[in-house]
Amino acid sequence: MSGSTTKKVFVRRFDRDSLVGFVSPGTYLGATGIELLRPDGTRSLVPYEDIKVVSFVRDLDSKEPVPEGRLFNARPKLGGLWVRMKFRDGEISEGVLPNNLLQLENYGFTLVPPSPYGNHQKLFVPRAALVEVHVLGVIGSPLKARKPRKDLGNQIGLFEG
């Protein structure tokens, strides 16, 4: 994401239209909702119960506020916890959470979507929006020790002259 002090976001809500605006990454999560700065300059507090997903995006001019892919086609390469989430409305989505539990927020989960190279870079999903969260796998676990390399001194060289 860019180095600016505010980030561009789409806020998808359950029963209403999506919102577009900006958030301050360090302070946008409040006790009752997120603080959103609208493009017209007004501030609003969006309750967690209304929010389905907050998408951190590259471009606000994108026509569709829904992430491009909701499920991974294959096992993700990015390190972390591969999770599958079921929303209150029955929609299923996947993502990768950080493998450091100290990075988990009190009000929800920040994760990388299945297609982070599209317009949607990161997602914040409030706990109030979810019915289930299942860990599908641990990617890049530091617990797995690497095998030591075999001694290659006695191996013949094929292309040495």
Please name the residues in contact with 46: beta carbons below 8 A apart, sequence gap of 6 or more.
11, 13, 19, 33, 34, 36
Q: For 33-57, how does the pLDDT look when each residue is reduced to its tens digit (9 = 90+)?
A: 999 999 999 999 999 999 999 999 9
For 131-161, letters b (16+ CB in 10 Å) and e give eeeeeeeeeeeeeeeeeeeeeeeeeeeeeee
Whole-number Å distance between alpha carbons of 57 and 81: 22
Contact predicate 66/58, CB 8 Å: no
30 in Cβ contact with 45 (< 8 Å): yes
pLDDT above 70 (res 76): yes
**Residue 2 confidence (pLDDT):** 47
Residue 137 sits at the vertex; the CA angle it makes with 134 and 140, to the nearest 5 degrees, is 140
Please, what is the average pLDDT of the chain?
85
Chain centroid to Cα 64, Å, comes to 17
Identify the band that residue 142 occupies on the pLDDT scale cut at 50, 70 and 90: low
Where along the chain do its domains lie? 7-59+69-139
